[in-house]
Amino acid sequence: MDDHDLGALLDASVPARPASDAALTRIHRRAAQRRRRAAVLSGALTVVVVVVAALGISWVGGPSKRVTPGGGTTPSSVPSGTTTIVPDGRCFSGDVSMSIDAHRQVWGTTARWAIVAVTRSDTPCRPVGTITATISDSGHGLASVSHTLDALHAAIVLAPDTPTVVANLAWNKPCSAGPVEFDVTGVAAAPARLTVPRQSCASKPNGGSDLVLEPRLLPGGACPKDSIVLTIDPHAVSIGTTTRWTITGTARTDVTCRTYGLDADIETPDGKVLTGIPGNPAVQNDQFEDLFVPSRREFVDDLSWSAPCSVGPVVLVVHYHDGMSGSGARLNLSKQRCFGILTGHFGITGRDAKP
């Protein structure tokens, strides 16, 4: 008795389930569940990577204060001539389609349009490449900017069939004579186009010079321009001869982000910085230590003025370096009475434990 005969007897000894349509339906349902689970796990992995980066843990060990958005692993290279997709590897441009979200977000004077990518591949992948955006006004090119999604930003992972923001087209003080056309190329094989209505000019036309292609804001990354609203609490606290005003900030972002580089000074009502006050202007020494949870008012720092003394009304002004992260805040103060001490000092002081 050879194996063939033995196999036939074995096959006859056990049942075989028919290939029914019901079983096929269950298989399709299970496969869909697996794809969804893979997408969720991929997203969770991305969050873990970003959180680890936000906590300042470098991949080779040792603390790092400054947060690098999107600290991820280098995407796996894909050999030419093969179409195998490495899970979480580089996206193939042919599988990716890109679009520009017509919904405009405005923070401060900056308008933003999200650039969205979606992959048709079976596995999550990372969009790596240079995105170039061009805006033209009635056929006339206004500006062209580009941004490279490199390994640094590889924390952006496209889950299969899930539209994901990969970058933002940010236009500060948008202004145009007529409708504006956006063209975005890169990452995907086909360009994305969007025509937006005339951008009314609140200020002088800037010809698109303030167009910026921003990387997508990742959790723990630097808060984008104009995203933080600063306020100075008018209710000062006096301890001894020192008066303190609390600065708070609120993020208008969708994810937690960080800031650095706060400046503060005491000015006259007409904008002249009172350099005669020791410590004025003051600079914050924090390095990405201020963490902002979306829509929650967060403590930033205190303005501290010991023995405040002025010959007239003054203004406390705080703002981020070069307007990054957000516009500034001002607080008008009446004349500060001098009590015979003219050696007061102004500064930005944090607290022992920041949130």
Q: Which residues pair with residue 100 across a beta bridge?
A: 115
By residue count, the chain amounts to 355
Q: Check binding of 12 to another protein (CB under 8 A).
A: yes
Are 156 and 98 spatial neighbours (Cβ–Cβ below 8 Å)? no
Q: Check binding of 83 to another protein (CB under 8 A).
A: yes
Q: Check binding of 352 to another protein (CB under 8 A).
A: no
Q: How far apart are CA 75 and CA 92, in angstroms?
A: 12
Are 133 and 169 spatial neighbours (Cβ–Cβ below 8 Å)? yes
Q: How far is the first Cα of the chain from the last one, in angstroms, to the nearest whole number?
A: 79
Q: Check binding of 136 to another protein (CB under 8 A).
A: no
**Shortest separation between residue 232's beta carbon and another protein, angstroms:** 55
Q: Check binding of 202 to another protein (CB under 8 A).
A: no
80 or 83, CB closer to another protein? Answer: 83
The SS3 call for residue 145 is strand
* Residue 337 main-chain phi, psi, to 5 deg: -70, 135
Mark the segment that binds another protein (CB under 8 A) among 8-16, 98-106, 129-137, 325-333.
8-16
Cβ atoms < 10 Å from Cβ of 222: 22
Q: Check binding of 28 to another protein (CB under 8 A).
A: yes
Q: Check binding of 40 to another protein (CB under 8 A).
A: no
Q: Check binding of 291 to another protein (CB under 8 A).
A: no
Q: How far apart are CA 60 and CA 239, in angstroms?
A: 45
**Shortest separation between residue 81's beta carbon and another protein, angstroms:** 12
Q: Check binding of 81 to another protein (CB under 8 A).
A: no
Binding stretches for another protein (CB under 8 A): 1, 3-4, 6-7, 9-19, 23-24, 26-28, 30-31, 33-35, 38, 83-85, 121-123
